[in-house]
Amino acid sequence: MLKKFFLCFLFTFMFHISFSQKLKDSVYIKSDIFEVMYSEVLEQPLWVKYKVLCGDGSYPRKGMDFFVVDSVKTSDHKDYENNIYDKGHMAPAADFNCTKEMLLKTFSYLNCTLQQENLNRTTWRLLEAHERELAKTTPVEVEIKCNFSKKSLVLPSGATVPDSYTKTIIYSDKKEIYFFKNEKPTTTDFKKFLIKK
């Protein structure tokens, strides 16, 4: 009888553990600076939306690094070690560097993507500067979608690398849509990646 009770207890405990650890395909989170739909399965954002709040902020990011969120299974520093992928901000740090508190919020792994290093440091960075220039004269809203497929690369550490990104910038009743493959760009001219205006 005691053996049956123990086995029943063990089964219930194991079921509870496996059920509670089930990863979600999508988790919606809204912070005071961005909205995100995050995939715990992919360990990457599916999309992020934000408004540019600091077109000309200057608070330094020195000493800041990305942090995990207890309530959501995200990528972490191990996913970005010894490979060609940067910790790419979705909602850019420079769009929110009015204050230390606001800037620090952009360093959540909820706002981080496995972005090819050359793309992140050149063409993508220049497009972020473009949206900040626009924000100096008009409100700017941005939506970025991470695009995945059945062939998306899954790293040994567990996170899935996006195949590409679609970035939409909305301002003054205008809309610019850009498409980037997640690879080294052939040019730093972001206008070459504009697919709809």
Residues 169-189: pLDDT tens digits? 999 999 999 999 999 999 999
Residues 11-22: pLDDT tens digits? 444 444 444 479
- What are the structural domain ranges in the chain? 26-196
CB-CB contact of 44 with 159 (8 Å): yes
Kind of pairing between the strands at 85-89 and 112-116: antiparallel
Lowest mean pLDDT, pick from 17-31, 95-109, 142-156: 17-31
One-letter amino acid for residue 11 of the chain: F
Task: Compute the Cα dihedral for 100, 58, 114, 194 and give only its sign.
Answer: positive
User: What confidence score (pLDDT) does residue 8 get?
Assistant: 45
Provide the 10 A C-beta neighbour count for residue 142: 25
Residues 76-94: pLDDT tens digits? 999 999 999 999 999 999 9
User: What confidence score (pLDDT) does residue 1 get?
Assistant: 52
Q: Which CATH architecture has domain 26-196?
A: 3-Layer(aba) Sandwich (3.40)
Residues 38-73: pLDDT tens digits? 999 999 999 999 999 998 888 889 999 999 999 999
Q: What are phi and psi of 173, to 5 degrees?
A: 60, 20
Q: How far apart are CA 183 and CA 196, in angstroms?
A: 21
Mean per-residue pLDDT for 106-112?
Answer: 98
Mean per-residue pLDDT for 127-156?
Answer: 97
For the cut 80, the answer to whether the pLDDT of residue 158 exceeds it is: yes
For the cut 80, the answer to whether the pLDDT of residue 146 exceeds it is: yes
For the cut 60, the answer to whether the pLDDT of residue 2 exceeds it is: no
One-letter amino acid for residue 5 of the chain: F
Burial category of 62 from C-beta neighbours within 10 Å (exposed 0-12, middle 13-18, buried 19 and up): exposed
Confidence of residue 3 (pLDDT cuts 50, 70, 90): low
Mean per-residue pLDDT for 21-35?
Answer: 95
Q: What is the DSSP string of 161-174?
A: PPSEEEEEEEETTE
**Collapsing DSSP states into helix, strand and coil, what is residue 39?**
strand
